[in-house]
């Protein structure tokens, strides 16, 4: 049963990263079509900027759990790499706890913002009108997944600061 949950969890993280990649392809295609349309004298699509802004937000959120899971993000580890043994493990644990706390705060606050936006009927008014809650819709899921990732680092022997590839870092 745990193996199945692990596979589903891993599939969710990889699926979100794949969706993030598709969103970037979509945004690039939209910008190319918009520029081409203007160059040919047809004018631009009004919603391009707003849609690309949403895509960039969702791309960042959807790829973050995968990057945390694979240690593919940018981080400063000079304090941790100079420690060993118990002091290093304690500092790593503190970092994981802070990461979990920040992710939980973002997830909870985003849920509260979404609830308020739905209750009041707010819209994000730009070149296109979109429900305001849509701006925050991915936050609870993605920050929830990152909370789980930090907890996995905290509760297992995995380390966020262990190099996994010889070309990693400077």
Q: Is the pLDDT of residue 73 over 80?
A: no
* pLDDT tens-place string over residues 38-69: 989 888 888 898 899 999 999 999 999 999 99
Residue 2 has a pLDDT of 83
- Three-state SS letters, 6-71: HHHHHHHHHHHHHHHHHHHHHHHHHHHHHHHHHHCCCCCCCCHHHHHHHHHHHHHHHHHHHHHHHC
Domain presence at residue 136: yes
Domain presence at residue 88: yes
Domain presence at residue 163: no
The number of domains in the chain is 1
Domain presence at residue 151: yes
Q: Is the pLDDT of residue 168 over 70?
A: no
Domain presence at residue 167: no
Domain presence at residue 168: no
Domain presence at residue 89: yes
Domain presence at residue 102: yes
- What is the span of the domain harbouring residue 106? 2-155
């Amino acid at each position: 049963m745990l193996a199945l949950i692990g596979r589903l969890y891993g599939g969710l993280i990889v699926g979100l990263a794949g969706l993030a990649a598709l969103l970037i392809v979509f945004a690039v295609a939209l910008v190319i079509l918009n520029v081409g349309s203007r160059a040919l004298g047809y004018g631009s699509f009004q919603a391009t900027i707003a849609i690309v802004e949403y895509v960039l937000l969702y791309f960042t959120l959807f790829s973050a759990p995968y990057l945390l899971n694979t240690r593919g993000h940018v981080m400063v580890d000079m304090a941790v790499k100079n420690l060993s043994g118990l002091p290093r493990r304690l500092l790593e644990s503190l970092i994981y706890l802070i990461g979990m706390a920040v992710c939980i705060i973002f997830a909870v606050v985003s849920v509260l913002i979404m609830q308020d936006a739905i209750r009041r009927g707010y819209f994000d008014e730009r070149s296109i009108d979109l429900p305001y809650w849509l701006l925050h819709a991915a936050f609870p899921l993605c920050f929830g997944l990152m909370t789980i990732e930090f907890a996995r680092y905290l509760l297992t022997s995995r380390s966020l600061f262990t190099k996994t590839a010889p070309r990693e870092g400077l």
